[in-house]
Amino acid sequence: QVQLVESGGGLVQAGGSLGLSCAASGRIVSINDMGWYRQAPGKQRELVAGISSGGRTNYAASVKGRFTISRDNAKNTVYLQMNSLTPEDTAVYYCHAELLEPFRVGWTSYWGQGTQVTVSS
């Protein structure tokens, strides 16, 4: 029923910028926290940035000052603007959302399909 669809991944040179989007669709009452995670080859998935329903944000130390997370509640969409990219940012990026569905109690966790971000030297 509910799906998180990501877009915006691709190849970019070091120092460049890239923007990611993740839109939640389906029967949704409300969305609580949303966030972006990434997983590089041979590494565990890590939290990149998170944003609450009220707009409170938090970032991994490695991306603070370079990445910006935002959301449009009317569109059920979360964004990640990535600037000053380095090869260490190369990974598959996944969006995540905690949401409430009709006639269900409690929050449900959903993941996007993942999008590849590759930063070349």
The string of pLDDT tens digits covering residues 71-92 is 999 999 999 999 999 999 999 9
Q: What is the pLDDT of residues 22-71, one digit of tens each?
A: 999 999 999 999 999 999 999 999 999 999 999 999 999 999 999 999 99
Amino acid at 71: R
Measured CA to CA, the distance from residue 67 to residue 81 in angstroms comes to: 6
CA distances (Å), origin 59, targets 54, 104, 107: 16, 31, 23
Tokens of 58: 């938090």
Question: Mean pLDDT over residues 104-111, rounded?
Answer: 95
Angstrom CA distances, 103 to 1, 27, 59, stand at 13, 10, 33
C-alpha 96/C-alpha 111 separation (Å) is: 5
Query: Does the pLDDT at position 1 exceed 90?
Result: no
